[in-house]
Structure 1
Amino acid sequence: MALRSENTIPPHLLMWQRVREYAVPPSMIETATARRAVGDWGGACAAARVDVDLDPRAVRERHGTELAARLRADLRRLAPDLLRWHMPRSAPDGRLRAGLTLSLVRYEGYGRHGAAPPHLVVRTPPAWADAGQRMSLAWWEEPSEHPAAGRPPHLDSPGHPHPHPDRRFRLDLHRHLWDAERADELARRCGASRPTPPEAPAEGLSADRLSAEGLLAGRLTPEALSAEGPPADGLPADGLPALHDYPWASTSWAAEAELLLRADGRNPRGAFTVRLGTRNRAVLELVAPDDHHAPTWRPLRETLPPQDVAALPVLPEAAARVLPDLELLRNGLIAADRLHPLVAGALAGSWPTTSAASPDAAPPPGDPHRVECRGEVHRIALRAGTLAAVDHDPAQLRREELLMAFGGPGLPCLRAIDAVHRDPEALPAVRERLGHGDIAGALAVVEGLLGPGAILRDGPLREELESAAARRIDHGLFRAGLADVYPGAGADGGAAASGDYAKASHRRRLDRHTPRETRLKHTYRGRPRSAQHVST
């Protein structure tokens, strides 16, 4: 496989390469797999940093034993580490998409008459409380219009910005992305099992990757896009989406859209939308000569009003784009043995077992444990759990440390140890692990570098660890429902961004959990904004 320069690799592939390296560590996969193998689905969720916010016994009391049995079967088949592997992520850091409620299973035929069926969902916290990159497994039911009917407390999610399942991000139609018993369907669903691309869809549209020429040939003009405002970032002024860096899985859109329409109880030859940008959607339709032929998609011929476009089914993001693992393998940016075992087993084929190194990659750093000191090369090694200069007498080291404490010049060996404590070369790896919630992995890197008995000194390394600990407190307050102020709702963006929430003039966000008295106080329009006192 030809080597590629890092400058020629699309940014989104570099992001996914870092995600696959740090977001789901092998230790998490091994522990979660071992606990799932013995039927401990709760332990598997704990190993994958997934909080369980549902009670199967409460579901049985509310809906009966049949639904409770289905729920327990789905929980036993859930691979939380595989779910974390395939969860939607946000650029450029590759963290979990914040404030998301994602449906895993829709239990059709249950729930109140005329209401949406209950869902097994997974939730991600809002961005200000995403420390640790934890997720939560919950049970969702459509709220009742009559307060007297009510809902049990375990079905509520106080404080979550988007408690309803998202139409764009859903995995109930893609069980192979979280169900351990159906993970082998991944190759067929993502297109890796097809040796050659199929014929192009109707109207001359590109089959492998959409392009401006294919869009024009298919008459997917700006009028066919649902534009709710100015073009989003990355979209040219003519309304055509810039798709050269974001490949679309257009070859499977027809089959995936048919599954989507059938799941929603619609005509399998109807219209659907694909989100192309922040404010742009392509309105497409499935066509076929008859029910015995495979459908193909084409742009909708008539123009629909914006409200009708918004009501159409949305193709899930998991079906709209090419699988990131498939892109990484095709570009030689990851080895097959570095993938999740269930993903590697499904995509087994003619992929390299080791990833190709980039020719422009920086050479490995020099040995930080050998220092030139006073004309000699001295060693720095771990002794008694700390990093120490082993080629110097202990009495000499004490004198030199005292001299450095008073501001004098120290030995090169002591200066090197001090630099490693404050700003080590492994700091980027530690920062990536902390950002993805791998606290144990970050501490293992620090202990392997400085020793388990080291005392951290002031510097970037200590600041990163202290910041990660402070952010975990915010997450704990969110989980406990004690966060009375939402940082993202304040007008003082600088104070909110810096974490100084108490000094920022925030106004509480009004939601369905706000007391009625508080809501009336903030929404009453009859009160005067100012008063004038006139003396007679």
Structure 2
Amino acid sequence: MIEQATAHRLAGDWAAACAAARVDIAFVPAEIAAGHGGETAADLLDDLRHFVPDLLRWHLPRYVRGGHTRLVPGRTVLLARYGPPADRPAGPLLFVTTPGRPEGPQRLVLHCAVAGVQEFLGDTGPRVHDWTSARHLWDARHTAALRERCGGGRDRAPFCRADGTPLPPEGLPTADPGSHDPAARTEWITRLHEHGELEAAFAAAGIGLDLNPPATRSWYRVDPESLLRGSPLNLPRLTPEFRLLARRRGCSRFQIPRNHGAAILLELSEPGPAGTLRASLAPPDRLATVPHVPEAFWRRLPDLDLVRSGQVAPARLHPLVAGALFPALEVADGAAGPPGPQAPEPFRVRCRGEWHRVAWADGGLRMPHAEEEQRRERALRALGGAVTGCFAVQPAWASDSGRLPKALRAQRADLFRRAEHGDAPGVLALLDAGVDPHVRDGAGRTLLHALHLLDHEELLPRVLAAGADLEATDRSGRTPLFTAASEGGSRTLVEALIAAGASIGSVDPSGMSLAHVIKLRRRGDLAFLRDRVRTEHPGLGDDRWEARARVSATRTMNTTDEGTHT
């Protein structure tokens, strides 16, 4: 993704760069010129030429689920405002939205619109992140500012040498190094924070600290020291970032939400540059009108934490991130992203009292057993007999039951993780290396169930040619077509599955039909399929889902009407 997006961006094709980074474009630049003038359109196009969609994706908020990360759903990230300064509150706004559902495709949508701008600008909750003053996170002209914004100095980032090598513990400051060395000062303050010396850490950062627990009627009790010690705050940068936001938003109070019982309240001791920043804990229900600090402004840079701990090599970071943080790092020519898949290594299987070496080849297992013996074991399994050792691996791989060797579980996890992140080339590379495409994950999903997360044009014919079952159901009883309709699969994918022979008359164990799920998910783009299901399969499914779909549609209409009249 990074390599392709970079090549298109450097060639001046910002739209192709977005496509490579799986960012859909929801506007036409020519319409901006027609509606807001040539100067505004020129400013927009200038930003788009320097827009780095893969870098934006790299920095977006994520959460950990099942041992790997996904984009936080339902977020809007504001990037830039356009028009004369006096007109900007009503001018076009460039922004990105993350997927609406965590299970769906990890695609982003880039918008440039006027409608709803006031809602975004006035939002105080966590769903809108204002990055208009954080261009280093998405604009190629400003990426060098990342080192300063994370607490680094002119020549290096905190906790690392200029080439990205982590500093040993004995190389870190043991006393306040003073303000002349920003990186060392960041290290000093961060270590105080990590060691639980909260008052000293906040004081060194010039921030007053109130450690009294928040006054709340809730049963939930908060230990201020534990909460603050466990928060990855970028303390040395908190004051300058706060002042930047305060000037932009015209506010003197901001909050950092932490849990159900408390948020960190930041406010100035007095208005103006003479005021010092103060931090305290407050119950979230008393801060409903206090705007949130975007995570990118208050959190330590995760990339630096990973490099510092040795979990990620500097060269494995996004090239623009690595170049900004580590000015002496030798980077290979051309953009390079995370590593591609390695050819699956052979693995050992305990079979009949011996260790056998088994490997993937041509979509199947190569094992040290004669073909006649393998046919006999397959016949035994077909008749319901028990198979063990090497012969038990294949059915366990192609089902959600049975035990897989540890190495094979890791290979399966890597395959589905690449699918979840839209890495179609990586999935195809693993299939080219001989991996069996009939794999199922722990939830019983096949590669066909994961097509809504990928660019399916090349992968769908490949797995169908291998004999994949279009009617295979996962543990929830849902077919690949049902999953695509329910979890945000594109219309082209749905049409391709139907053209390949997928049944439109399937019903999940709860009695929900495709027509029901299309209506409940408000998939207007699949109205053709909903109508076809109702025509060809009248009365299909449980009636209660039809009633629920009608209620959902009514609520949507009422919400829309209220928003229109507000």
Select which of 385, 406, 424 maps to 2:383. 406
Q: TM-score, normalised by structure 2?
A: 0.63
Percent identity (aligned)? 33
Q: Please give the secondary structure, in 1, of the residue aligned with 2:379.
A: helix
Distance 1:106-1:216 versus aligned 2 partners, 3 A rule: closer
Q: Does 1:318 align with 2:303?
A: no
- Pick closer, same or farther for the CA change 1:351–1:143 going to 2, 3 Å: closer
Alignment partners' CA distance in 2, 1:80 and 1:252: 26
Aligned AA for 1:189? R
TM-score (norm 1): 0.66
Q: Once the 2 structures are TM-superposed, how far is the Cα of residue 274 of structure 1 from its aligned partner? A: 3.5
Higher RCO by CA contacts (8 Å cutoff, separation 6 or greater):
1
Q: Do 2:29 and 2:45's aligned partners in 1 also have CA atoms closer than 8 Å? A: yes
Q: Does 1:86 align with 2:76?
A: no
* Residue aligned with 2:146, SS: helix
Name 2:165's counterpart in structure 1: none
Q: Distance in 1 between matches of 2:217 and 2:100?
A: 26
Pick the aligned partner of 1:298 from 272, 278, 303.
Answer: 278
Question: Aligned in 2, Cα 1:78/1:210: closer, same or farther, shift over 3 Å?
Answer: farther
In structure 1, the residue matched to 2:246 is: 261
Tell me, yes or no, if the aligned pair for 1:29 and 1:81 is still in contact at 8 Å. Answer: yes
The correspondence of residues 339-378 of structure 1 with structure 2, limited to 5 A, is 339-348=317-326, 368=346
Q: Is 1:131 the counterpart of 2:175 in the alignment?
A: no
Counterpart of 1:332?
310
Amino acid at match of 1:430: L
Pick one of 105, 124, 146 that aligns with 2:80: 105
Report the CA distance between 1:109 and its aligned residue: 3.0
Which residue of 39, 52, 56 corresponds with 2:29?
56
Q: Distance in 2 between matches of 1:415 and 1:208?
A: 49
CA distance in 1, matches of 2:351, 2:283: 76
Q: Distance in 2 between matches of 1:174 and 1:436?
A: 25
For the 8 Å contact 1:211–1:243, the answer to whether it is kept is no
Helix, strand or coil for the counterpart of 1:32? Answer: helix
- Aligned pair partner of 1:387 in 347, 364, 368: 364
Check conservation: 2:209, 2:278, Cα contact below 8 A.
no
Q: Which residue of 1 aligns with 2:438?
A: 456
Judging changes above 3 Å, is the alpha-carbon distance between structure 1 residues 168 and 461 closer, same or farther for their aligned structure 2 residues? closer
The answer as to 2:208 corresponding to 1:248 is no
| C-alpha distance in 2 between matches for 1:484 and 1:457 | 31
The aligned residue for residue 468 of structure 1 is 450
- Larger CA deviation: 100-109 vs 328-337: 100-109
Could you report, residue by residue, the CA deviation over 1:406-453 in whole angstroms, capped at 9, with x for unpaired residues? 234668544444444445321222233233333442443355352xxx
Hey, what's the Cα distance between the residues in 1 that align with 2:126 and 2:218? 24
Give the 3 Å change call, closer, same or farther, for CA 392–100 of structure 1 in structure 2. Answer: same
Q: Is the 8 A contact 1:102 1:165 kept in 2?
A: no
Aligned to 1:197: 185
Q: Which amino acid aligns with 2:295?
A: E
Deviations 1:187-240 (A, max 9, x none): 111113323226999xxxx778886656998452558x6x776376xxx43666
Contact 2:261 2:283 in 1 (8 A): no
Q: Is the 8 A contact 2:106 2:422 kept in 1?
A: yes
Contact in 1 for aligned 2:25/2:111 (Cα 8 Å) = yes
Query: Does the 8 Å contact 2:40/2:83 carry over to 1?
Result: no
**2: CA distance, partners of 1:503 / 1:288:** 58
**Deviation digits for residues 378-401 of structure 1 (CA, Å, limit 9, x no counterpart):** 664555x23254755545544443
After superposition, residues 104-253 of structure 1 pair within 5 angstroms as 104-107=79-82, 109=84, 115-127=89-101, 130-143=103-116, 169-193=129-153, 194-197=182-185, 213=199, 218=208, 220-222=210-212, 230=218, 236-237=221-222, 242-253=227-238
8 Å contact 2:257–2:284 — kept in the other structure? no
- Give the letter aligned to residue 73 of structure 2: A
Superposed CA RMSD in Å reads 4.8
Rounded to whole Å, the distance in 2 between the matches of 1:406 and 1:398 is 12
Which moves more between the two structures, 57-66 or 191-200? Answer: 191-200
1:174 CA displacement = 0.8
Consecutive unaligned residues in structure 2, runs of 5 or more: 154-181, 332-343, 452-479, 493-516, 523-541
How far, CA to CA, are the matches of 1:375 and 1:144 in structure 2? 69
Match runs of 1:424-503 below 5 Å: 424-425=408-409, 426-450=411-435, 454=436, 456=438, 460=442, 463-469=445-451, 470=480, 471-476=483-488, 483-486=518-521, 502=545
Output the amino acid matched with 1:341. Answer: P
Cα displacement (A) at 1:100:
0.9
Aligned pair count reads 433
Tell me by how many angstroms 1:86 deviates. Answer: 0.3
Q: Which amino acid aligns with 1:90?
A: Y
Distance 1:279 1:411 in 2: 52
Structure number having the greater helix percentage: 2
Aligned counterparts of 1:329 and 1:457: Cα–Cα separation in 2:
34
Deviation at 1:503, TM superposition (A): 7.9
The Cα of 1:38 is off from its aligned counterpart by 0.4
C-alpha distance in structure 2 between counterparts of 1:404 and 1:199, whole Å: 61
Amino acid at match of 1:244: R
CA distance in 1, matches of 2:150, 2:280: 25
8 Å CA contact 1:209, 1:248 repeated in 2: no
